[in-house]
């Protein structure tokens, strides 16, 4: 049986790479090779940027209304193909089908936000800022934009990038993860079907060489990255070095605080879902919980309920979590679990050596839970990116806040409580960019911006909402005054502007 070859998309067409370097794309539940993805040649990367640069000349002048209509058609097509896209996500990423369908839903929110471009890209105007003088702003597209995305959300992360970028009048080159590219390609194909013109949206695949080439290219004006801290720091610094506008949404170590006055059943359910859903492979997962006061007595029940969670292939809808993305990821996760035991943490639930009948070759790690964790342990300081929950304890809310604020990351945090006072104190005193109140994963809806902070983010502006429009546009300020034509009687020529 022939293996599917993942194409590049250049100038509106699928292109088979001429590279000699191909990577296998594996089904994480079986280790079956389901596709091969090319490492694009330097010439192919150059062709993608050249196509985008050429298309910018006309696309940047297309009306806001027409761009909006293409986005409206795009969201309609994505909605119609949700099941197909979700199946591709599950096949190559491993997350459960309900989780994959949820990802497509969050991607749709981002596309729908881009449908508001006729409102979001408006400038401002001051009529008669001075006598007879108007001042106004124009939000103009930048040029060629680049997006580099991680494997954990192969559709949602590209949706955070190219829909707003091209809706603003930019053109785009996307470099998706090579681990699960098929759903990304299908997502882009639907955008082209919706009417995105040739050259406006291109896709290349590759590793560090492709990323560096894109960051260094003189025709690229802005680079957006979402992924690990190590790679994100490199991309941000490298793009900035070459004069690009850059943003990087990176790693995290999110905390969920459970107060003793919380709704116990709901808090435990949401904790387990946010810690172990998608096998813990979310930058907004909750790998740490802080049990406060009497809530510390809930620890045995939390552990017992974690043991009941079902591990299975993502295609089984009743599975609570599927495999992690690769054998290498599994080995790293289990190695950190070993380290946690060696450093003295109490292993309450052990997900190592997890075997699913019929899928013995899968990259499965079961729910894992530690208590007795302190801030010096590797399982706390490192982003494990797997189904591993660390439990810390605190006497008071103030102590819990102090623990969270001492952690360098600031992607998200949440509190479960029935006290408005506690909730308000938490949201005001916590130094984290995204806060959930009785919400375990506080990613805001797409018409609000993603506002991770501190070590989780480089750059002033985040994806989605108004900030994403500011990132993908440059502001021109115009100061204008008009006179009667010189041939009319009484006309005068003034050489200064009165500010009185």
Residues with catalytic function: 283
Taking residue 61's Cβ as centre, other Cβ atoms within 10 Å add up to 9
From 346, 378, 349, 326, select the one nearest 276 (Cα to Cα): 349
**C-alpha distance across the termini of the chain, in Å:** 80
Residue in this structure with the two tokens 């919380």, named with its chain if needed = 262
Check if the beta carbon of residue 225 is closer than 8 Å to that of residue 231: yes
Cα separation, 443 vs 434, in Å, equals 7
Cα separation, 234 vs 212, in Å, equals 9
Check if the beta carbon of residue 157 is closer than 8 Å to that of residue 226: yes
DSSP 3-state percent helix, strand, coil across the chain (nearest 5): 40, 20, 40
Taking residue 209's Cβ as centre, other Cβ atoms within 10 Å add up to 14
From 290, 325, 233, select the one nearest 223 (Cα to Cα): 233
Query: Can you give the length of the chain in residues?
Result: 500
List strand residue ranges (DSSP E) for 180-331, in order.
201-203, 220-226, 245-249, 255-258, 288-292
């Amino acid at each position: 049986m022939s293996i599917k070859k993942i194409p590049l998309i250049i100038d509106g067409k699928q292109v088979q790479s001429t590279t000699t370097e191909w990577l296998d794309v594996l089904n994480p539940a079986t280790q079956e090779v389901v596709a091969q993805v090319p490492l694009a040649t330097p010439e192919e990367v150059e062709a993608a940027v050249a196509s985008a640069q050429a298309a910018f000349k006309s696309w940047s002048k297309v009306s806001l209304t027409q761009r909006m209509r293409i986005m409206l058609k795009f969201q309609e097509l994505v909605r119609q193909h949700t099941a197909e896209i979700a199946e591709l996500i599950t096949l190559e990423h491993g997350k459960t089908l309900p989780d994959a369908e949820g990802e497509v839903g969050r991607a749709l929110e981002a596309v729908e936000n881009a449908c508001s471009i006729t409102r979001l890209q408006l400038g401002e105007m001051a009529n008669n800022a001075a006598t007879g003088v108007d001042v106004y702003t124009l939000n103009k597209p930048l040029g060629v934009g680049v997006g580099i995305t991680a494997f954990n959300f192969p559709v949602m992360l590209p949706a955070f990038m190219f829909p707003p970028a091209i809706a603003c009048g930019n053109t785009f080159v996307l470099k998706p993860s090579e681990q699960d590219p098929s759903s990304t390609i299908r997502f882009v194909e639907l955008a082209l079907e919706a009417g995105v013109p040739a050259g406006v949206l291109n896709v290349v695949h590759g590793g560090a060489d492709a990323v560096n080439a894109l960051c260094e290219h003189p025709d690229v004006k802005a680079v957006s990255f979402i992924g690990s801290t190590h790679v994100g720091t490199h991309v941000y610094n490298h793009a900035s070095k070459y004069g690009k506008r850059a943003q990087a949404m990176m790693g995290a170590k999110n905390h969920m605080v459970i107060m003793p006055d919380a709704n116990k059943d709901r808090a435990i359910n949401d904790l387990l879902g946010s810690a172990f859903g998608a096998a813990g492979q979310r930058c907004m997962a909750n790998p740490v919980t802080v049990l406060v006061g009497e809530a510390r007595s809930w620890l045995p029940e939390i552990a017992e309920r974690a043991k009941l969670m079902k591990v299975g292939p993502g295609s089984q809808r009743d599975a609570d979590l599927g495999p992690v993305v690769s054998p290498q990821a599994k080995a790293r996760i289990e190695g950190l679990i070993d380290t946690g035991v060696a450093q003295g943490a109490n292993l309450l639930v052990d997900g190592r050596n997890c075997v699913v009948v019929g899928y013995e070759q899968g990259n499965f790690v079961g729910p894992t839970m530690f208590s007795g964790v302190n801030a010096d342990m590797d399982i706390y300081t490192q982003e494990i990116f797997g189904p591993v929950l660390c439990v810390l304890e605190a006497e008071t809310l103030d102590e819990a806040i102090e623990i969270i604020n001492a952690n360098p990351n600031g992607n998200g945090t949440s509190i479960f409580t029935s006290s408005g006072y506690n909730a308000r104190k938490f949201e005001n005193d916590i130094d984290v960019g995204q806060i959930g109140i009785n919400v375990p994963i506080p990613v805001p809806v797409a018409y609000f911006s993603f506002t991770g902070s501190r070590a989780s983010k480089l750059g002033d502006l985040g994806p989605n909402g108004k900030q994403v429009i500011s990132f993908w546009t440059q502001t021109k300020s115009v100061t204008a005054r008009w006179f009667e034509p010189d041939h009319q009687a009484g006309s005068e020529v003034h050489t200064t502007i009165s500010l009185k």
